[in-house]
Amino acid sequence: MEAHIFDYPEQGNFSDISWPCNSSDCISVDTVLCPNMPNKSTLLYTLSFIYVFIFVVGMVANSVVVWVNIQAKTTGYDTHCYLLNLAIADLCVVLTIPVWVVSLVQHNQWPMGELTCKVTHLIFSINLFGSIFFLACMSVDRYLSVTYFSGTASGRKKTVRRVVCILVWLLAFCVSMPDTYYLKTITSAANNETYCRSFYPEHSVKEWLIGMELVSVVLGFIIPFCIIALFYFLLARAIAASADPEKHSSRKIIFSYVVVFLVCWLPYHAVVLLDIFSVLHYIPFTCQLESFLFTALHVTQCLSLAHCCANPVLYSFINRNYRYELMKAFIFKYSAKTGLAKLIDASRVSETEYSALEQSTK
């Protein structure tokens, strides 16, 4: 996904930079007309502290999910490949946060070179798209597992899931490459400030800028959200037809999946759409609008990255089956020689005793 807010132009800093664009299709840099935004430093430093919190929580939580899934695999227990890949994607996203914080506290300057600019953006974008795509895949998988493929052989389902995961990573890579390709570092001759920016082909700057933002909105939110909402609605309806009260309680969890995704991502993409309208001059340019977009893009992206902390809780820790595997992973790690692991293995709860939501994670 486009790392939009991390390279959002600083106000009033670009009047002395030679921009590689001379055609009439270029987008004028209106920010040079606006005074510096008040309290900008306070905003950026506050967000930096929040990002550090997201980094710590996201790294710990997703590392635990990855570790438990690896332990479950090596000890012969079934593991959900979507959950593992989701945790890896979220972990890679939060691991780039320290780099963004270094840039953020310097008012989005980029002192780390062009290679770091490209590599960090690429890792961030691939894994953020991948995380969202895996959430959509899980919604489809869980519905189909409960309604149509409950009797399908486990080995066949594993193969299909692995193929889907490979395709998801390839799609995330392909979507992320164009914007990364055009990233460059630019330096101001007057104050020696360096920034990491996208420079699109001179004859179609506006089309590329709008196109990349639309890709972010359509592939990063609209399509995944429609898939997630539709298939979890169908799953909830299928569960409602069951007489099992435990399955009925799973509808609340399903509802939380949709709500959390919407709360984390809708504000950011709404602001991105507003930014598109501003670029197209559908909204008259004002310094107040520029300041609002600057603030809103930073705040809403910070909110969206909180999803990397919410995913381990919603899709793993809240799941009784996962908590069982977590306990068992510790037992196998530290108590294998005592025989306690074998005792827990012998008393493993049958898969049929899990709720429909938990069954479908198999």
- Residue 170 has a pLDDT of 97
What b/e readout covers 226-243, taking b as 16+ CB neighbours within 10 angstroms? Answer: ebbeebbebbbeebeeee
Sign, CA torsion 289/292/298/303? negative
Domain residue spans in the chain? 5-17+28-359
Q: Is the pLDDT of residue 352 over 80?
A: no
Q: What is the mean pLDDT of the chain?
A: 79
Give pLDDT tens digits for 326-351.
666 666 555 554 554 454 444 444 33
What is the percent of the chain where pLDDT is above 70? Answer: 72
Give the DSSP letter string of 100-117. Answer: HHHHHTTTT--TT-HHHH
Looking at 80-89, 105-114, 296-305, 331-340, which range is the least confident one?
Answer: 331-340
Give pLDDT tens digits for 1-53.
555 545 554 443 434 444 444 444 444 444 445 767 778 888 899 999 999 99
Give the DSSP letter string of 226-295. Answer: HHHHHHHHHHHHHHHT---HHHHHHHHHHHHHHHHHHHHHHHHHHHHHHHHHHHTTSS---HHHHHHHHH
Specify the CATH architecture of the domain 5-17+28-359. Up-down Bundle (1.20)
3-class state of residue 348 by DSSP: coil
Looking at 58-67, 240-249, 314-323, which range is the least confident one?
Answer: 240-249
Task: Specify which of 151-165, 176-190, 337-351 reaches the highest per-range mean pLDDT.
Answer: 176-190
> What mean pLDDT do residues 269-285 have?
87
- Bigger pLDDT: 12 or 164? 164
Please compute, for residue 226, the number of CA atoms within 13 A of its CA located in the half-sphere on the CB side. 6
Separation between Cα atoms, residue 24 and residue 203, nearest integer Å: 8
As beta bridge partners, residue 186 has 195
* Entry pTM: 0.81
- Residue 247 has a pLDDT of 61
- Residue 248 has a pLDDT of 60
Q: Is the pLDDT of residue 174 over 60?
A: yes
Looking at 62-66, 186-190, 295-299, which range is the least confident one?
Answer: 186-190
> What mean pLDDT do residues 121-139 have?
95
CB 18 within 8 A of CB 286: no
Four-point Cα dihedral 97, 100, 101, 102, nearest 10: 130
Task: Specify which of 7-16, 236-245, 291-300 reaches the highest per-range mean pLDDT.
Answer: 291-300
